[in-house]
Amino acid sequence: VECGLRLTILKTIPKELLSCRIENLNEVLTGPTLLDIEGESEQTLFISTLLHGNETTSFLVLQKWLLQFQKTKPSKRLLIFLGNIAAAVRGLRQLPDGPDYNRIWESGPWPEHNLASEVFIYAKQFPLFANIDIHNNTGKNPFYACINVLSEEAIKLANLFSKKVVYFTEPSQVQSMAFAELCPSMTIEAGLPGNEVATNEVIRVLDCLMRRQSFHELSIDRDVQIYHTFGRIKIAHHASVDFEYSQDSQAELSFDCSLDDKNFEILPINSRLGFIKNPQVLTVIDNRGEEITDEIFSFNAGEIRTKQIIIPSMFTKNITIMKDDCLGYIMERMKI
Ligand SMILES: [Zn+2]
């Protein structure tokens, strides 16, 4: 096992964790860590943090929220996973030579797959009340929550954080998908990193869950909006990209500079997202892994235009993330 990849389980909250700077986190923790904090009851809340090292809201939430449990026992047992410490210290989503920590929750070849499985097996021995995996976006998005199962309990859980709920099943290797087997489970997408409003909103959800004994005590807002993700837009690694929004650009892809303002907006047919020189560098993949580019976009005269009404999410202007992960997702509204 590579150094810094062993799971450390701690039964107390390290004091320095609550005050250290994220870039010094490796002085407090040796690597991926699971805090197992006994509560008044055995009912257990699982909180997943820093699966993406540059998404700092989860860390800020812990620093603020855990202060109260230095002296008093929490009402429920807390299992808190701090994932990609090495990437967090460097301000990166993931290490350049390592896997994405939110794609390791199915079996696979990396040592990190074993790490995730160890965390899952440990958590499974407790009566889990809910699982929350806290993330940020790299592009502008409203606050929303994602679920991987369309159960009433999962919708109630997501609705605690936002009226915007995204249901997705691909990628399937995410933490919230694995834990959905054990309890109501969600991913929180708390806007851009470092926003204090986001930190407080996540804390509000955690406090609320700590007070409830059962999901019967929760309800679903009448105006909750459920979206279903049916496509991912992939950008080729070798593609040159800019945001000049110009046909004369030298880049193979020249996107609308306000691309991420379109997240959760309804884009009418024939909306132009940018210009493309080489149609091979942009593809849309559906949930079965099949290419559906032709159903979604036309590339006539080098313009990227929508062929149907789409609702984007997670559109990002970060070129590295666009290529490593995706440009964003395409959604449709669902009725429940
Ligand atoms: Zn993330």
Q: What integer pLDDT is reported at residue 262 of this predicted model?
A: 96
Is the pLDDT reported for residue 323 higher than 60? Answer: yes
Does residue 279 surpass a pLDDT of 70?
yes
Angle between helices 196-211 and 152-161 (to 10 degrees): 140
Q: Report the separation in Å between the CA atom of 56 and the middle of ligand 1, taken as the mean of its atom positions.
A: 10
User: What value, to the nearest 5°, has the Cα angle with vertex 302 and ends 296 and 304?
Assistant: 30
Ion ligand 1, residue ranges at CB < 5 A: 52, 55, 135
What tens digit of pLDDT does each residue of 162-216 get? 999 999 999 999 999 999 999 999 999 999 999 999 999 999 999 999 999 999 9
300 alpha carbon to ligand 1 midpoint, in Å? 34
| 190 CA → ligand 1 middle, Å | 10
CA 303 / ligand 1 centre spacing (Å): 30
List, for residues 221-242, the tens digit of each pLDDT value: 999 999 999 999 999 999 999 9
Task: Kindly state the percentage of the chain with pLDDT values over 90.
Answer: 96
pLDDT value of position 229: 95
Q: Which pLDDT belongs to residue 3?
A: 45
Q: Find the 182 Cα to ligand 1 centroid distance in Å.
A: 21
Tell me the CA–centroid distance for residue 299 and ligand 1, in Å: 30
State in Å: Cα 136 to ligand 1 middle. Answer: 5
Residues in a beta bridge with 49: 82
Span 21-47, pLDDT tens digits: 999 999 999 999 999 999 999 999 999
How far apart, in whole angstroms, are the C-alpha atoms of residue 153 and residue 220? 9
* 70: three-class secondary structure by DSSP: helix
First to last CA, the chain: 46
Span 80-139, pLDDT tens digits: 999 999 999 999 999 999 999 999 999 999 999 999 999 999 999 999 999 999 999 988
| Ligand 1 center to 199 CA (angstroms) | 15
Which pLDDT band, with edges at 50, 70 and 90, does 2 fall under? very low
Q: Are 45 and 81 in contact (CB under 8 A)?
A: no
Q: Residue 284: CB partners within 8 Å, gap ≥ 6?
A: 231, 232, 233, 234, 291, 292, 293, 295, 296, 297, 330
pLDDT band at 5, cuts 50/70/90? confident
CA atoms of 34 and 240, how far apart (whole Å):
40
Q: What is the pLDDT of residues 241-254, one digit of tens each?
A: 999 999 999 999 99
